Amino acid sequence: MEEKMSEENTDEVKVLEAQIKRLQAEVAALQCQQQENSKDTTFHFRGQMQDAMLYMCGQRRGGEKEMVLCRLREEVKELEEDLKQQTRMNGITLNSCSTKTLHSSNSKLVQQLYVSGHCSKLAFQVEFQLSEVKEGQRSKRTISDLNVVVDASDLQKLGSFLSRVEESKDLLLFFRTLRTFSDRCDDRCRTFQHFHEKYPSVVSLPGGSRSEVMTLNHPQLPGCVLFLHWSVEVSRDGGVTPNIDLLTKIPEEALRLVPSQAVGGATEAFQSLLRILGPEAAIESVVRAVSLSQDT
């Protein structure tokens, strides 16, 4: 009886040992598979990261070089140079430009645009709607709801012109006239500043170098003042015309000593000088006369 029980126990032990070995083999196989999967995942992830880094550095795997970042830098540099060239050519510098799409379909695109910038010292803001309609192989663009604002001290000179631009929706006319108007204002500013620096005891700029008035007054002639009024007029159609006038302010006591013809003829004489010599030479002659021919 005891021998039979012993044999049964031995058989059970053998069965359990076989099961344990089988489970151990399964565990070893699972561990091996896990390690292989881990290696494959790591290699795959590392390969993707390496490809991405090589691509960002301008290279592809396998030695093929494609300088992506360098090309992007070159394109940005080309765009910057083109923008600088356009600014030098048209004198317009853009500070910001924003676009909002109001409608988009296969045949029509409507956008709201806002552009701000400056031309010399003149700041401007332009807002309008741009509609693009496709007609077969062609597309037609139209501007609507144009609103233009210019920040200028002598804005009254531009009032009727800006109204004309908003009515006609003519942006090209606006920018072309703004450039011409700005150039003429800069000419006046440079001329006033030049004479103020050259004849500081005679020439004064009560409103600054960008104002319309320059005064001439010699210290030895108190109360006798000449006003040089230089305005830049803009017509409704965009024509820009500089107007320079010489005005006098002489006390009554001095008028008794000076013939009225001489005083009244000063303006006409100055206009003759303008036609013959041009603005700078004509102003130089008047300033030297007021300064009694002394380079003060």
> Which whole-number Å values give the CA distances from 215 to 201, 204, 232, 241, 286, in the listed order?
11, 5, 18, 22, 11
Between CA 244 and CA 229 the distance in angstroms is: 6
Among residues of the chain, what percentage have pLDDT more than 70? 67
Q: Select the more confidently predicted residue: 267 or 256.
A: 267
Query: Given a cut of 50, is residue 296 above it in pLDDT?
Result: no
Mean pLDDT to the nearest integer, 57-82: 61
Query: Given a cut of 50, is residue 270 above it in pLDDT?
Result: yes
Mean pLDDT to the nearest integer, 51-70: 54
φ/ψ of 195, rounded to 5, equals -75, -30
Q: What local confidence, expressed as pLDDT, does residue 83 receive?
A: 66
Lowest-confidence region among 84-88, 138-142, 282-286? 84-88
Q: What local confidence, expressed as pLDDT, does residue 33 receive?
A: 65
User: Residue 129: which pLDDT band, with cuts at 50, 70 and 90?
Assistant: very high
Q: What local confidence, expressed as pLDDT, does residue 56 receive?
A: 53
Token pair of 2, please?
Answer: 């005891």
Query: Given a cut of 70, is residue 114 above it in pLDDT?
Result: yes
Q: Select the more confidently predicted residue: 252 or 182.
A: 182
pLDDT digits (tens, 9 = 90+) for 160-218: 899 999 999 999 899 999 999 999 999 999 999 999 999 998 899 998 988 999 998 87
Query: Given a cut of 50, is residue 2 above it in pLDDT?
Result: no
Query: Given a cut of 60, is residue 238 above it in pLDDT?
Result: yes
Length of the chain: 296
Q: What local confidence, expressed as pLDDT, does residue 161 receive?
A: 92
CB 234 within 8 A of CB 219: no
Between CA 173 and CA 227 the distance in angstroms is: 33
Query: Given a cut of 60, is residue 158 above it in pLDDT?
Result: yes
Mean pLDDT to the nearest integer, 13-28: 68
User: Residue 67: which pLDDT band, with cuts at 50, 70 and 90?
Assistant: low
Q: What local confidence, expressed as pLDDT, does residue 249 receive?
A: 73
Q: Select the more confidently predicted residue: 258 or 92.
A: 92
pLDDT digits (tens, 9 = 90+) for 187-203: 999 999 999 999 998 89
CB 232 within 8 A of CB 184: yes
Which is it for strands 225-234 and 240-249: parallel, antiparallel or unpaired?
Answer: antiparallel
Mean pLDDT to the nearest integer, 50-69: 53
